Structure 1
Amino acid sequence: MNPRRSPTIRRRRLGAELRKYREAAGVTIDVVADRLGCSPSKVSRIETGHTSATPRDVKDMVDIYRVDGAVSDELVQIAREARQKGWWHPFSTVLTGAYVGMEAAARSVRAYEQQVIPGLLQTDMYADALIRGARLSDTDQQIEQRVRVRMARQALLIQDDPIDLWVVLDEAVVSRPVGGDDVMRDQLFRLAEMAALPNVTLQILPFAAGAHAGMDGTFAILDFPDAEDPDVVFVENATGGLFLEKVDELSKYNSIFDAIRSTALPPEESRNMIALLAEEPLWKSKPRVSGSI
């Protein structure tokens, strides 16, 4: 299977196509569910890409919509591809959403991060310290699996057909010593190294910028190679995250990212700042504030 056609993105494409043909045929979800002998929620989840559909289900659905010939064959083939296992399947117990599958199919990712180094740029020690600090109920085995899948994702940046990554980091991200001095220094050196790749653009949004367009939170905008797969915005939270796909939502986040990158330091200045921080960390130069009066 084409590496840009992950099962996740194929499932999303299939659902969108099935919904389009159902609506064109003037058929309701309830009618489809009754014909298939399943619940309306299953049909809805297939159309939103949250549930896989068997090739048999897809064939029955397109028959209901009176779609045949090459289109029917193509949709059944997409259903087969969508049921294949991605490389991340062995780690499914620690993955709470579809983001990794979406990322695997993306052509580019534009992200703004307020608190942590993005997973595609983390060292294993930084990732371990971060996960241990944020997921207090995880076992050592779960933490190890999370780190392993995070490291495996980074192949996207150096494979033969790498994704384009553009990241804007709030200065807070490079000012917090996750894992302690040595771990954070190594992480900053890794950032500088990755920022030198031709497909990676890294910018720092300094504290001096004051209020800015990204203060509502962290997000990533994923763009895909095929025009049939529209862009998607991922907004992360503690339970996984939300995928936003509406045209007005995409427009809003594209505008926010453009404003953030315009406010941030240029890439060369950002790389120089990261190199300087690796030698003279901010967390050592700034006085500590205790909780006592």
Structure 2
Amino acid sequence: MGERRGLAVLGGGKMGEALLAGLVRRQGADGVVVCERHPERGAELAARYGIDVVGFEEAAARSRVLLLAVKPQDLPALLERLAPSVGPGHLVVSIAAGISTATVEAALPAGVPVVRVMPNTPALVDEGMSVLSAGASAGEAELDEAEALLSTVGRVARVPEYQQDAVTALSGSGPAYFFYLVEAMVDAGVLLGLPRALTTELVVQTALGSAVMLRESGEHPAQLRDAVSSPGGTTIAGIRELERHSVRSALIAAIEAAARRSVELGRADGSR
């Protein structure tokens, strides 16, 4: 068991492919396999990344790290099929939203180390944010191994598992909130008479530049916003409208709702 090496991606959806692509770009395809229930999708991934598409037993036999990249509702069936082939020599990494390490551990043989991860879709462009939590049988070595895997597609942080529902709501769902805001800003530009293509370029580059400023300046967002808001100017007039329509409160409420839904997903599968 100790000689087993390699990675098996179980599930070839968006996040599974993002992690697969990042690893292959950084380290090559050697030792990487994928399990995919749809043959046509499996063939697509095999051709694109030069990897083998295999069954669960072969994946477990060839790979130390098993990345569970399926939707939460599909995880119980996956674990049932995987359990007979898994042992303590494996490392199981789950990216299923809302599903606790205890739930995954209960479906597998005793002593299998499990790490729970909440990634997000910017992993597709190597700018993801992944947050890790260790299960009962996973220690620092397993967290280091999972972090090395996820760091191929962005930044990584570690939190106690009880914080994962908040992480899911904030960074896991977060890209959708930004896309929503960008969509609204683009529509506003079109309403004001700008061509949609130009408006999209203006908004996307503004979003990108603003994010880089936040990361590199180290300043609080309020300070950066204040620097743009001249007395009696256009920006402060716009900010007043955002406050009048309670946009700040709406965003906070949306993130709270997403966190509650993450808890509900876990409860539905018996994790709490």
Give the alignment's TM-score, normalised by structure 1: 0.25
Greater RCO between the two (CA within 8 Å, min separation 6)? 1
